[in-house]
């Protein structure tokens, strides 16, 4: 059998939030590593340079090609320079993974105005700014793929109002961008991760909650950043050439269930015993 060509061979990609906020591998880091493993040259963008440098070390160890660019993606000038740098270093731009995202807790009664503004800026405005400068470069190259990272929180109420609202906005933004730039051969899609165990959530998790999250979804298995990253590889690749404007849930089936039905207790009460 012929050897498979790497899916992203010859492509140039930007991943924002390409480091991880704690020890281990988060969504941005895993995505950058898989993009490089699949043959892309990757610009690793993070506001904390050392975090992106850790991702670079992982990629270099595997023989992949990548480099670090320190930027705060809520600043237009940083986003412009980020895109210019990708083109200067690698000659073109094909893929943008808008991964950066943060959370602040609170209802509309509790949330501080500055927290609301900051979450909306990091989770939504950053996508607008990064895409604003990336799309003209993709057009020059004949097209591209943009992947916006939303969340199950964009589809269902979550325990944080600013996070839920911002992640729902990412979905609307994806639809709008996909419609506006389809004729430029730019595909824009969205990933809605469920409740994977990643460095972003680990500090807020004890073993009991971690187990509850695992058991909440029909598959009953724990997700990792690699699950999210493989979805990004697919959406970035030519294999998804006819896919645009979708919200791909990567959540072990969680978003399609009714509340509580899949907890152990509910299974005992409602479901016939398994033979
Ligand atoms: N369980 C989960 O981890 C989960 C679930 C659903 C959705 N998501 C989404 O996945 C995305 C992040 O995943 P991750 O695992 O890579 O997170 P992470 O927190 O591990 O890493 C994000 C990186 O982004 C960087 N960053 C933060 N703000 C920045 C800014 N303004 N400019 C540049 N860099 C910035 C941080 O320094 C960090 O290194 C977010 O959009 C998040 O909402 C995560």
pLDDT per residue as tens digits for the range 134-150: 999 999 999 999 999 99
pTM of the predicted protein model: 0.96
Six-digit token string for 259: 């509340």
Pocket of ligand 1 contains residue 27 by CB under 6 Å: yes
CB atoms within 10 A of CB 105: 14
Q: Do the Cβ atoms of 70 and 91 come closer than 8 Å?
A: no
Residue spans per domain, the chain: 12-270
Pocket of ligand 1 contains residue 150 by CB under 6 Å: no
Query: What pLDDT is attached to residue 271?
Result: 57
State the average pLDDT for the chain.
95
Work out the angle at residue 110's Cα, subtended by the Cα atoms of residues 206 and 17, and round it to the nearest 5 degrees: 55
Pocket of ligand 1 contains residue 200 by CB under 6 Å: yes
Query: What pLDDT is attached to residue 268?
Result: 64
Mean pLDDT of 246-256: 96
Three-state secondary structure call for residue 143: coil
Please give the distance, rounded to the nearest whole angstrom, from the Cα atom of residue 101 to the centre of ligand 1: 4
CATH 3.40.50.720 fits domain 12-270? yes
Percentage of residues in the chain having pLDDT higher than 70: 94
Summarised one tens digit per residue, pLDDT across range 3-13 is 889 999 999 99
Summarised one tens digit per residue, pLDDT across range 11-58 is 999 999 999 999 999 999 999 999 999 999 999 999 999 999 999 999
210: left (phi over 0), alpha (psi -120 to 50) or beta: alpha
Please give the distance, rounded to the nearest whole angstrom, from the Cα atom of residue 18 to the centre of ligand 1: 8
Query: What pLDDT is attached to residue 4?
Result: 87
Q: Do the Cβ atoms of 44 and 56 come closer than 8 Å?
A: yes
Q: Catalytic: 163?
A: yes
Q: Tokens 């680990």 — which residue?
A: 202
Pocket of ligand 1 contains residue 225 by CB under 6 Å: yes
Active-site residue (options: 90, 133, 163, 262): 163
């Amino acid at each position: 059998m012929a050897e498979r060509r790497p899916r992203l061979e010859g492509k140039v990609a930007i991943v924002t939030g390409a480091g991880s906020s704690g020890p281990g591998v988060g969504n941005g880091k895993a995505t950058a590593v898989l993009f490089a493993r699949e043959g892309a040259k990757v610009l690793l963008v993070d506001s904390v340079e050392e975090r992106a440098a850790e991702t670079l070390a992982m990629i270099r160890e595997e023989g992949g090609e990548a480099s670090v660019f320190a930027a705060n993606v809520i600043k237009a000038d940083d986003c412009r320079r980020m895109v210019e740098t990708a083109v200067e270093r690698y000659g073109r731009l094909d893929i943008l993974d808008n991964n950066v995202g943060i959370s602040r807790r609170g209802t509309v009664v509790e949330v501080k105005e500055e927290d609301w503004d900051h979450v909306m800026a990091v989770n939504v405005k950053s996508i607008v700014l990064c895409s604003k400068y990336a799309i003209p470069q993709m057009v020059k190259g004949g097209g591209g793929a943009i992947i916006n990272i939303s969340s199950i929180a964009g589809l269902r109420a979550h325990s944080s109002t600013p996070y839920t609202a911002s992640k729902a906005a990412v979905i609307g933004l994806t639809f709008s961008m996909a419609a506006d730039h389809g004729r430029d051969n730019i595909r824009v899609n969205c990933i809605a991760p469920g409740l994977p165990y990643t460095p972003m959530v680990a500090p807020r998790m004890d073993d009991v909650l971690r187990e509850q999250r695992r058991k909440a979804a029909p598959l009953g298995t724990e997700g990792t950043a690699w699950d999210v990253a493989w979805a990004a590889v697919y959406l970035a690749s030519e294999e998804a050439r006819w896919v645009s404007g979708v919200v791909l849930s990567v959540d072990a089936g969680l978003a399609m269930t009714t509340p509580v039905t899949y907890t152990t207790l509910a299974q005992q009460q409602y479901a016939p015993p398994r033979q």
